[in-house]
Amino acid sequence: MKMKKMNKKAISFAVGMVLLAIAITVFAFYMVFFVSNERIKDIVTPLDLINIQNDAREDVFFIKESANYASQRAVYSVLNEIPMKSSSPYKKYQDIDIWNDCEPDIKKVEEKFLDEFSQEFYSLIKSSDKDIIKNLDGKYVFSLNNNILKLQSGQELEYHTLLEIHAVYKTSVSFEKELPFSLNILSDIHTRSKNAVNTCKDDFDCITEKMNSDDLDDFDFEFTKNGDYIIFTARTKDRFFFNDGTLKYDKISFDYAISLT
Amino acid sequence: MKLNKKAIIGSGLATVWAIVVIAIILAIFFLLSAVILPFKKTSENVIVTDKFTLIENSESVIALLNTPFEISLSGETVKVPLKDIFILYDNNLVSNLDMENIKPQIKTSLEKAYGSCYAIKYEGTNIFEDNWQTSAYAEKWQQQGEITLTEINLISGKFSFRNLFDTCMIKNRNIENCKMACLII
């Protein structure tokens, strides 16, 4: 009877030990297959994020390039027909604006630039084959401060990982673009040209000297005398992409006349 | 009979202890595996799958597109970034003769950074007549589909860049070996 009792204790102890061994083994398997897989995901996810960051960088590059080309075309549009302060039609000499009694209206110049820029910019954004870029259509606020064009977006670009661990990568598409020159320069060109003709009359060397200064350094000037007028041709030193019927990559020039009398 | 019973108990206990010892050994083995195996598995995973080897490096490609090259326009020598040269060529704003002069410059610039381990393509223009400017070495790896591909959308078209040097670095992790393999001086 005593023997039977001992046998039962031994058996239950042995069974307990076997169960414990099974539990430890199951735990070890769990660690191997579950925890290690989790770690793999942790490590693969950053690689996925690197690819997402690259996608984002490429998209931001496209948006900045759109702004780059749009700004060049907008500069052409402004210089091709500069808005003037005079409300009544100002005088022309052989189809050239006479700048004695009118001057560039910088506020209107900037408005025209921003209007042309936004049209070109959104047109290029919409030409993208990526929906994430197309969705930025109409989401920007544009502002101009001297030669700094600010593009403030009300929306960020969002990228999602495709892996089990879900992550969202956001990147801002608000940025600033430096224009080759401030549009205020048109006002300086106007003042300087009038003063030069008043002082120098038709002495081109003298006019050249007066127009040759650091603040007008982004333009080259040529002069011709035609009747009672000095015809100025202002030409940008930089080349721009613009479209005057055909696409061009050239310097932009515009003419204006100053009366000698 | 009594001895026999003791023997039974003894053998039972021995069996139990044997199971315990084996279980402990197994547990230690699996616990150690759990710590070591993830890294082993990950490194296999990373190198074998395309996910890692095909990681793009768009930063260097964008830098390449922004690199200016000297070209002649209306008798004037100007520096124009590569991305703009594509637009000029697309719109016949630069002569074939000028393009022939630009191509070796682009090639030299690329070879400085990547040796023979690169391939470029520009969609929308036949600026590079045979499209893929590949070295024999790049072509071999390209056939195996193991070269990092970066595609950048430009305003004028798609620019593709295959970078064998980065692929080499991921596989060999030895800059000197890769420079030698890619003939980078």
Looking at the DSSP bridge assignments, the partners of residue A254 are A234
- Which has the minimum average pLDDT: A50-59, A246-255, B162-171? B162-171
Determine contact: B14 vs chain A, CB below 8 A.
no
Longest dimension (CA), chain B: 119
Measure A53 CA to nearest chain B CA, in Å. Answer: 9
CA B92 to chain centre: 35
A46 vs B113, more confident: B113
A80-131 pLDDT, tens per residue?
Answer: 999 998 766 778 888 898 998 888 999 999 999 999 999 999 999 999 989 9
A125: nearest CA partner in chain B: B155
- Give the model's confidence band at B166: pLDDT under 50 very low, under 70 low, under 90 confident, else very high: confident
Measure B144 CA to nearest chain A CA, in Å. Answer: 21
B175 vs A225, more confident: A225
A247-259, strands of its sheet edge to edge: A219-226, A229-243, A247-259
Give SS3 for A45: helix
- Which has the minimum average pLDDT: A65-69, A191-195, B40-44? B40-44
Question: Which chain A positions have a beta carbon within 8 Å of B15's beta carbon?
Answer: 14
Annotated domain spans of chain A: 43-259
B26-56 pLDDT, tens per residue?
Answer: 777 777 766 665 544 444 333 333 344 456 6
Between the alpha carbon of residue A137 and those of residues A120, A132, A168, the distances in Å are 11, 10, 22
Looking at the DSSP bridge assignments, the partners of residue A175 are A151
Per-residue pLDDT, A258: 94
Q: Which range scores top for mean pLDDT: A117-126, B19-28, B91-100?
A: A117-126
Task: Give the CB-side neighbour count of residue B138, counting CA atoms within 13 A.
Answer: 23
